[in-house]
Structure 1
Amino acid sequence: MKLNFTSKLFLSEELKKLKNNSTDLQTDIEKVIIKIENSEPKIHALKWEENRLNRLLNDIEKIDKQSELYGVIVGVKDIFRVDGFKTKAGSKLPPELFDGKEASSVTKLKNAGALILGKTVTTEFAYFEPGITRNPVNINHTPGGSSSGSAAAVVAGFCHVALGTQTIGSISRPASFCGIIGFKPSYDRIATDGVIPFSPSADHVGFFTQDIEGIELIAKVLCDNWNNKLSNKNLPILGIPEGKYLNQADKIVLENFEKNIEKLQNNGFTIKRITTFENIEKINQTHKLMVSAEISEVHKDWFKKYENLYRFHTKQIIKDGQKVKKSEIESAIKGQLELRTKLQELMLKNGIDLWINPSTITEAPYGIESTGSPLMNLPWTYCGLPTISIPSEISKNKLPLGLHFTGFYNEDEKLLNYIKKIISV
Structure 2
Amino acid sequence: MTRIPTALEALRRIADGSMTCEALARACLERIVEREPAVQAWQHLEPDAALDTARRIDRAGTGPLKGLPIGVKDIIDTADMPTSYGSPIYAGHRPARDAACVALARHAGALILGKTVTTEFAYFQPGKTHNPHEYGRTPGGSSSGSAAAVADGMVLLALGTQTAGSVIRPASYCGCVGYKPTHGLIDRTGVRPFADSLDTVGVFARTVEDAALFASVLAGRPGLRIENRSVRPRIGLSRTHEWDAAEPATAAVLEEAVKRLRASGLEIREVVLPECWRGLFEAQKTIMAYEGARACAPEMLTSPDRLSAKLREILQIGAAIAPDDYDGAKSLAAEARAGMADALDGLDVLLTPSAPGEAPQGMEATGDPVFNRVWTLLGGPCVNVPGLTGPSGMPIGVQVVGRIGDDQRTLAAAAAIARVLSVR
The 1:213/1:244 distance shift into structure 2, 3 A limit, reads: closer
1:85-234 matches, within 5 Å, as: 85-95=81-91, 99-227=95-223, 234=231
Contact 2:215 2:224 in 1 (8 A): no
Give the stretch that moved more between structures: 280-289 or 403-412. Answer: 280-289
| Separation (CA, whole Å) in 1 of partners of 2:264 and 2:189 | 42
1:346 to 340, 343, 362: 343
Q: What is the aligned partner in structure 2 of residue 285 from structure 1?
A: 282
SS at match of 1:76: strand
Deviations 1:329-384 (A, max 9, x none): 22222222222222221212xx1110101211121001211111111111110010
* Shift in Å, 1:179: 0.7
* Shift in Å, 1:57: 2.0
The 1:40/1:91 distance shift into structure 2, 3 A limit, reads: same
Q: What is the aligned partner in structure 1 of residue 38 from structure 2?
A: 42
1:393-404 matches, within 5 Å, as: 393-404=388-399
Q: What is the aligned partner in structure 2 of residue 337 from structure 1?
A: 334
* Shift in Å, 1:230: 9.5
Q: What is the aligned partner in structure 1 of residue 373 from structure 2?
A: 378
Deviations 1:98-140 (A, max 9, x none): 8343210000000000000110000111111000100111112
1:59 to 53, 56, 61: 53
Q: What is the aligned partner in structure 1 of residue 354 from structure 2?
A: 359
Q: What is the aligned partner in structure 1 of residue 386 from structure 2?
A: 391
* Shift in Å, 1:216: 1.8
Deviations 1:227-250 (A, max 9, x none): 359988551111122453233211
Letter aligned with residue 406 of structure 1: V
Which runs of no fewer than 5 residues in structure 2 stay unpaired? none
Deviations 1:57-96 (A, max 9, x none): 2213543443211110010000000011121111111347
Contact 1:245 1:280 in 2 (8 A): no
Give the stretch that moved more between structures: 295-304 or 161-170. Answer: 295-304
Contact 1:73 1:115 in 2 (8 A): yes
Query: Does 2:309 align with 1:309?
Result: no
Letter aligned with residue 377 of structure 2: Y
The 1:279/1:115 distance shift into structure 2, 3 A limit, reads: same
* Shift in Å, 1:327: 1.7
| Separation (CA, whole Å) in 2 of partners of 1:175 and 1:228 | 20
Give the stretch that moved more between structures: 378-387 or 210-219. Answer: 210-219
SS at match of 1:47: strand
Q: Structure 2 length normalisation: TM-score?
A: 0.93
Which runs of no fewer than 5 residues in structure 1 stay unpaired? none
1:234-245 matches, within 5 Å, as: 234-242=231-239, 244-245=241-242
Contact 1:179 1:402 in 2 (8 A): yes
| Separation (CA, whole Å) in 1 of partners of 2:224 and 2:249 | 38
The 1:177/1:11 distance shift into structure 2, 3 A limit, reads: same
Letter aligned with residue 369 of structure 2: P
Residue correspondences, number: 416
Contact 1:231 1:413 in 2 (8 A): no
The 1:274/1:166 distance shift into structure 2, 3 A limit, reads: same
| Separation (CA, whole Å) in 2 of partners of 1:83 and 1:27 | 25
Deviations 1:235-280 (A, max 9, x none): 1111122453233211111012111111111111111112115456
Query: Does 2:416 align with 1:421?
Result: yes
| Separation (CA, whole Å) in 1 of partners of 2:80 and 2:95 | 11
Aligned sequence identity (%): 31
Contact 1:287 1:382 in 2 (8 A): yes
Contact 1:363 1:401 in 2 (8 A): yes
Give the stretch that moved more between structures: 225-234 or 182-191. Answer: 225-234
Query: Does 2:39 align with 1:17?
Result: no
SS at match of 1:175: helix
* Shift in Å, 1:158: 1.4
Contact 2:85 2:121 in 1 (8 A): yes
Q: Structure 1 length normalisation: TM-score?
A: 0.93
SS at match of 2:392: coil
| Separation (CA, whole Å) in 2 of partners of 1:55 and 1:267 | 47
Letter aligned with residue 50 of structure 2: L
Contact 1:249 1:361 in 2 (8 A): yes
| Separation (CA, whole Å) in 1 of partners of 2:117 and 2:92 | 18
Letter aligned with residue 259 of structure 2: E
Give the stretch that moved more between structures: 302-311 or 225-234. Answer: 225-234
Letter aligned with residue 256 of structure 1: V
Contact 2:212 2:225 in 1 (8 A): no
Contact 2:117 2:143 in 1 (8 A): yes
Letter aligned with residue 195 of structure 1: V
